Amino acid sequence: MKTKLKQEAKDGWILLSPLLLLTFIFLLYPVVSNFYFSLTKWKGVGKPVFIGFENYKTLFKDERFYRSLKNLGVLVLYIPLGVLTPLVIANTLRKGFRGWKLYRVLLYLPNILGPVILGTIFSVILSQIGPVTDLLTKLGVKNAQEIYILGKSASAINSLAFIFVIWMRVGFGCIYFLSAMSSIDASLYDAAKIDGTNAWQDFIHITLPSIRFSIEFFTVLAFIEVFARMYGIIFTLTGGGPGYATYTLEYGVYMISFSAYQKGYASAWSVILFFFCAAIALIQIRLIKKGENN
């Protein structure tokens, strides 16, 4: 009996070994090696020079780092609106009306185009010679060409937040929430209708509680994208500017690594980014387990 159990355990490890090897190569090794490089002075070629925690000391004195955290704070403030907008639209589409399927397709278009293409498009739209400036000129706004939305710190970060956190996520959010709403028992709405509830009360007391897990999960996904998936649109829309007005930790890692060729210092930035993403991932895992239990 013991021999059989040992053989089954051995077979299990043999079957798991390819997965464990891939996990080590593509997950554990990069994380550990990145932490090591964060303790070195390295340009990407040659032998890394060990300098201890000097990169972290430099990081905590770097204006770009603190500006990145501030910018991430602004982006995070847009997440509630980025969740609520597709939620309300999905609830409207759920009821069905003429052409609602076409609206759903149109709302999803930004997800098909991708952040790099959209960043390029909006950089033209919001430029000093773009359609926005042309519209302002036709409306009689004086010196409209001097109004450059992406040229001012406050308007640049808020424009970036609106485009990425809200506008780009509306389509995916609508599809996601429509899928979640389709699983709600229709008899709940029928019973509520008999009690004389209106559409708003149905939304608050039936729809939201029924898809609570989906809302929480979508919110966590929004956090992940804000922290780790904004490089493409920042690079094409604002280039991190004006100044460091639209810098984020992720963008800083790319620029320090591939523009300044300070691989060791960039690794220190990515370690900080890793801890942020790890914390979000832990929250996501807890939500998944909570959803399974419910």
pLDDT digits (tens, 9 = 90+) for 52-67: 999 999 999 999 999 9
Residue 42 in any domain: the answer is: no
Q: Domain residues for 2?
A: 1-37
What is the pLDDT, as a whole number, of residue 60? 94
Residue 1 pLDDT > 60, yes or no? no
Same domain for 164 and 91, yes or no, is yes
Residue 75 in any domain: the answer is: yes
Average pLDDT on 134-146 reads 76
Same domain for 33 and 160, yes or no, is no
pTM, whole model, 2 decimals? 0.86
Nearest Cα neighbor of 115 from 240, 233, 272, 258 is: 233
Residue 91 pLDDT > 80, yes or no? yes
* In contact, 55 and 265? CB cutoff 8 Å: yes
Residue 45 in any domain: the answer is: no
Residue 47 in any domain: the answer is: no
Same domain for 62 and 172, yes or no, is yes
Residue 172 pLDDT > 70, yes or no? yes
Residue 222 pLDDT > 90, yes or no? yes
Burial 79-101 (b: 16+ CB within 10 A, else e): beebbebbbebbbebbeeeeeee
Q: For residue 183, give the amino acid letter.
A: S
Question: At 112, is the pLDDT very low, low, confident or very high (cuts 50, 70, 90)?
Answer: confident
What is the pLDDT, as a whole number, of residue 20? 74
What is the pLDDT, as a whole number, of residue 4? 62
Same domain for 15 and 59, yes or no, is no
Q: Taking all residues of the chain, what is their mean pLDDT, rounded to a whole number?
A: 87
In the block, residue with structure tokens 């847009």: 78
Same domain for 114 and 22, yes or no, is no
Residue 228 pLDDT > 80, yes or no? yes
Cis peptide before 242 (omega within 30 of 0): yes
Same domain for 132 and 180, yes or no, is yes
% of the chain residues with pLDDT over 90? 45
What is the pLDDT, as a whole number, of residue 5? 60
Nearest Cα neighbor of 169 from 238, 281, 83, 72 is: 83
Same domain for 133 and 274, yes or no, is yes
Q: What is the CATH number of the domain that holds 83?
A: 1.10.3720.10
% of the chain residues with pLDDT over 70? 93
Same domain for 13 and 148, yes or no, is no
CA distance 278 to 90: 30
Residue 12 in any domain: the answer is: yes
Residue 182 in any domain: the answer is: yes
What is the pLDDT, as a whole number, of residue 6? 66
Question: At 257, is the pLDDT very low, low, confident or very high (cuts 50, 70, 90)?
Answer: very high
Residue 107 in any domain: the answer is: yes
Same domain for 153 and 259, yes or no, is yes
Q: Residue 224 contacts by C-beta under 8 Å, 6 or more apart in sequence? A: 277, 280, 281, 284
Residue 232 pLDDT > 80, yes or no? yes
Residue 294 pLDDT > 70, yes or no? no
Chain CA centroid to CA 284, Å: 13
Count: domains in the chain: 2
Pick the range with the lowest mean pLDDT from 24-28, 205-209, 236-240. Answer: 24-28
Same domain for 20 and 70, yes or no, is no
Question: At 253, is the pLDDT very low, low, confident or very high (cuts 50, 70, 90)?
Answer: very high
* In contact, 248 and 71? CB cutoff 8 Å: yes
At 21-78, the pLDDT tens digits run 887 777 788 888 989 999 999 998 889 999 999 999 999 999 999 999 999 999 999 9
CA distance 102 to 93: 11
Same domain for 120 and 258, yes or no, is yes
What is the pLDDT, as a whole number, of residue 291? 65
Alpha carbons within 13 A on the beta-carbon side of 196: 0
Chain CA centroid to CA 61, Å: 27
Phi-psi region at 272: left, alpha or beta (left = phi > 0; alpha = psi -120 to 50): alpha
**Comparison of pLDDT for 153 and 96, the residue scoring more:** 153
Same domain for 103 and 203, yes or no, is yes
Residue 172 in any domain: the answer is: yes
